[in-house]
Amino acid sequence: MTSEIQENTTETPLLPHPDSQQYAFFFDVDGTLAEIRDEPDAVSIPPEVRQHLQALFTASSGALALISGRPVEQLDQLVAPLILPAAGVHGAEMRDGEGQFHRVTLPAQMAKDVEQTLAAGMEKLPGTLLEVKGMAFALHYRQAMLHQQHVLELAESVVAKHPELVLQPGKCVIEIKPRGKDKGAAIYDFMQQPPFAGRLPVFVGDDLTDEKGFEVVNALNGISVKVGEGSSLAKYRVKHVRDVYQWLETLQRHATLSSSTTHTNTHTKESHS
């Protein structure tokens, strides 16, 4: 994957303002809609940002979804009281555009064995944190950078034993997840179903896991946006999470404005290209 990623830190074009009726909106959460914290539990999305998400969700007739490595249950808590379409655990869990829930499961014994192996291995690496997500496992080492290599070796040993599982490196985390599930596949799945189908995708993300999403969005002639530094397949780039907030505010303002224009001034219907 990395060989295809190109530097585009120079000449990044200005972010466009895609029309809420013609585009479908996909957002990663950590590092995109929420500042990254040392503890994954300490992460939050400010109330006004949740309001902007809600406005854009409404203006786009529901074509807005969260695409994250977190389980859907955690995503729901982060955007409460909103209930949004969401792909959790890199698409291994999904609440689709009609509210139906889908989840990949691992054979019970295998999941138990993997968890035991990982727990035993991580116990020897102080400061690391094992997060069990049912069908996936996150090996966090943000608080123990010196163990990075050991964490990677432990994860590799587990994946070598179980061909149904693959590694997914992220920021200070190595994840083990079901093969065939990634953010690109999740976005592609959403794009096949209402209310996403027939639109162009917009995807904003910050991490290695989001590159699969950018790849799919580019192939569908959509708008891919990378948050922060580092090489990326994304066509656009912003520096910080707060730039995403600002863009979101502008988007929802445009969306609200264009819907009120349409409602109050029916004789001058605007055409959006």
* Catalytic residue IDs: 28
Please report where in the chains the tokens 């992460």 appear, as a residue: 43
Q: How far apart are CA 222 and CA 235, in angstroms?
A: 9
Cβ closest to Mg ion, residue 70 vs residue 199: 70
Q: How far lies 114's CA from each of 16, 107, 111, 136, 140, in Å?
A: 44, 11, 5, 10, 16
Q: How far lies 189's CA from each of 8, 37, 201, 269, in Å?
A: 28, 30, 12, 33
Give me the 35-54 binding string for Mg ion, x by CB under 5 A, dash otherwise.
Answer: --------------------
Q: How far lies 186's CA from each of 75, 78, 108, 190, in Å?
A: 15, 20, 24, 6
Cβ closest to Mg ion, residue 19 vs residue 76: 76
Cβ closest to Mg ion, residue 45 vs residue 125: 45
Closest CB 28 distance from Mg ion, rounded Å? 4
Could you tell me how far CA 49 lies from the centroid of its own chain?
A: 16
Closest CB 273 distance from Mg ion, rounded Å? 31
Q: Does 28 bind Mg ion (CB under 5 A)?
A: yes
Q: Where are the alpha helices (DSSP H) in the chain?
A: 47-59, 72-79, 108-123, 148-161, 183-191, 211-219, 241-264
- Total number of residues binding Mg ion (CB under 5 A)? 5
Of 31, 88, 97, 228, the one binding Mg ion (CB under 5 A) is 31
Segment holding 49, helix H or strand E? helix 47-59
Cβ closest to Mg ion, residue 96 vs residue 207: 207
Cβ closest to Mg ion, residue 30 vs residue 215: 30
Please report where in the chains the tokens 């592609």 appear, as a residue: 188
Closest CB 258 distance from Mg ion, rounded Å? 30
Segment holding 159, helix H or strand E? helix 148-161
Q: Does 175 bind Mg ion (CB under 5 A)?
A: no
129-132 sheet: strands from edge to edge: 129-132, 137-140, 173-178, 165-170
Residue ranges in 191-250 that form contacts with Mg ion under rule CB under 5 A:
206-207
Of 24-32, 139-147, 218-226, 265-273, the window that binds Mg ion (rule: CB under 5 A) is 24-32
- The torsion angle over the Cα atoms of residues 28, 31, 34 and 36, rounded to 10 degrees, is 140
Token pair for 7: 């530097």
Cβ closest to Mg ion, residue 147 vs residue 183: 183
Closest CB 51 distance from Mg ion, rounded Å? 21
For residue 125, which amino acid is it? L
Of 23-31, 45-53, 177-185, 246-254, the window that binds Mg ion (rule: CB under 5 A) is 23-31
Of 16-24, 31-39, 95-103, 256-264, the window that binds Mg ion (rule: CB under 5 A) is 31-39
Closest CB 31 distance from Mg ion, rounded Å? 4
Closest CB 68 distance from Mg ion, rounded Å? 7
For residue 175, which amino acid is it? E
Residue nearest to Mg ion (CB): 31
Chain contacts with Mg ion (rule: CB under 5 A): 28, 30-31, 206-207
